[in-house]
Amino acid sequence: MAQGTARVEEGGEDPRRRIPRTDALLALPAVVAAQAGLGAQVVRGIVRAVQDRARRGEIAPEQVERAVLDALGARSASSLRPVLNATGVIVHTNLGRAPLSPAARRALQDAAGYTDVELDLTTGARGRRGAAARAALLAACPAAEDALVVNNGAAALLLATTALAAGREVVWSRGELVEIGAGFRLAELVASAGAWVREVGTTNRTHAADYREACADGAAGVLLKVHTSNYRIEGFTSEVGIAELAAIAHEHGLPLIADLGSGLLHPEQALPQEPDAAAALEAGADVVLTSGDKLLGGPQAGILLGTAETISRLARHPLARAVRADKLALAALEATLAGPMPPVLAALRTDPDALRRRTDALAARLGGRTVAHDGRVGGGGGAGVPLPGWAIALEEELAAPLRAGSPAVVGTVQGGSCLLDLRCVPVEDEEALVEAVAAAREQCLSHGVRGIVR
């Protein structure tokens, strides 16, 4: 059939009359079954879209039923597509940051229905929301007296500054006025809480005297220390550590907030310069803020760890209700903390020699070559810290069809090659990666793309 609007065939018959009726297509057993997972409205939309293709002459009427079944088979309940992360960036914000562990994924399924999220099943009385996740956090970080979980890291900072400094000043070093992805500036978030940002020091050097001077007039409500997780200032620099900053804050009767961002609860050998929550609390911070979906390796969440008095004050604030974590995040966070090593830490601690052997073996199967390639932490952690490793170099032209394939494979393009770093690709997904590369190569060959070798 010709492309474009269907034409009347010889003898006067309009082929569009042969397009199956909507009710007939919706009555097909496979279509009826698909409605249970996708919903009637989505299924009806798919049916109509395929019928429209036939009316435009893109497919024959006899192909409509098959096209409907194929479209339903390819459609998932969500438009989010699984991706094989072959970039070497562990906490890749564009790819959803931390992949959850099998334990956390099971916890999500268990929590998807009715749960005892705010019910004490023993007494039948209302229970404390997130009690199990809180207990898991305190077990993982004994330096904290109490913990609170909100829906993300920005919410944690918003709640802390609103509850502790609304209408007053947040004293903050100019060298720590961080902007993160998509132009999001932490200072603007703090200002939206009704607090005043009081900048002290300079971009490269801030001293204890700067903080003391800012506290002298009584306008300060809190001192804020922010880890510059996505950049580093080197050279002629000076900053005030948490222990000294806590002494200044407490000298003036003020709390100290330490926003660490990247999610380490304890020191990590692979990232010796990355701050951790336990050390910050032991140094005197009243509340430490961190993210659940970065180096902790869990779901999106904002985690607040601190003194019992400070956490209680934050939990009682009305904003805490607006930013609280849902049952799915609480379940996944608890399972991440209590379960085995999450994928993020496994990728971070990957042995370069083992990665080399694995890369060599797969490169031979894919017709590529092994090249040195540094991985990265990503997600605002370990700024400037390379993670030595290896990647498979393939034809640059494969990058686009790999991204569009199923599963989607996202690598990097460097030096005229498409690089696939296996650091974040689970071993069990290697066969899927091999098949994806083969499909991408065949697609390029069928379109006459130059530079592709079978």
Shared domain for 120 and 251, answered yes or no, is yes
Instruction: State the chain's maximal CA–CA distance in angstroms.
Output: 96
Percent of the chain with pLDDT over 90: 83
**Do 217 and 270 reside in the same domain of the chain?**
yes
Instruction: Tell me what the pLDDT averaged over the chain comes to.
Output: 93
- Amino acid 3: pLDDT: 47
Residue 57 and residue 136 in one domain: no
What are the strands of the beta sheet with 169-173, ordered from one edge?
146-150, 302-306, 287-291, 256-261, 220-226, 169-173, 196-200
Do 150 and 234 sit in the same domain of this protein? yes
Q: How many alpha carbons lie under 13 Å from residue 63 in its C-beta half-sphere?
A: 12
- ∠ CA(317), CA(291), CA(349), 5° rounding? 160
CA-wise closest residue to 129 among 332, 339, 321? 321
According to DSSP H, which parts of 123-166 are helical? 131-140, 153-165
User: CA separation (Å) from 312 to 220, 295, 304, 327, 409?
Assistant: 21, 26, 11, 21, 45
Question: Does residue 453 belong to any structural domain of this protein?
Answer: no
Is residue 332 domain-shared with residue 407, that is, in the same domain? Answer: no
**In the block, which residue shows the tokens 């880890």?**
227
**Rounded Cα gap, residues 238 and 224, in angstroms:** 16
Q: Which of 325, 341, 357 is a domain's end point?
A: 341
Count of structural domains within the chain: 3
Which residue type is seen at 279?
A: A
Instruction: Give 12's pLDDT tier (boundaries 50, 70, 90).
Output: low
Whether 271 and 418 share a structural domain: no
Of 139, 149, 174, the closest CA to residue 302 belongs to 149
The whole-angstrom distance between residue 142's C-alpha and the CA centroid of its chain comes to 26
In a shared domain, residues 261 and 380? no
Mean pLDDT calculated for residue range 167-186: 91
Domain range for 41: 15-74
Q: What is the pLDDT of residues 110-168, one digit of tens each?
A: 999 999 999 999 999 999 999 999 999 999 999 999 999 999 999 999 999 999 999 99
- Look at residue 5 and tell me if it is in a domain: no
Q: What pLDDT was estimated at residue 231?
A: 83
Domain assignment present for residue 324? The answer is yes
Locus of tokens 């997904």? 429
| Model confidence, pTM | 0.86
Give residue 331's Cα distance to chain centre: 17
Please give the pLDDT value at position 184: 87
Same domain for 212 and 238, yes or no, is yes
Helix 327-338, helix 131-140: angle, nearest 10: 30
| Residue 80 confidence (pLDDT) above 90 | no
Q: Report residue 53 as tokens.
A: 């293709």
Same domain, yes or no, for 334 and 350? no
- 281 shares its domain with 370: no
Amino acid type, 236: F
186: nearest Cα among 321, 299, 289: 289
In this prediction, residues 77-92 reach a mean pLDDT of 91
CA-CA distance, 105 to 81, in Å (whole number)? Answer: 16
Confidence (pLDDT) at 245: 98
- Dist CA 13 CA 19 (whole Å): 13
Among 1-10, 23-32, 271-280, 374-383, the least confident range: 1-10
Supply the CATH number for residue 435's domain.
3.90.1150.180
In this structure, the answer to whether residues 358 and 391 fall within a common structural domain is yes
Q: What is the token pair recorded at 429? A: 């997904």
Q: Domain check: are 327 and 408 in the same one?
A: no
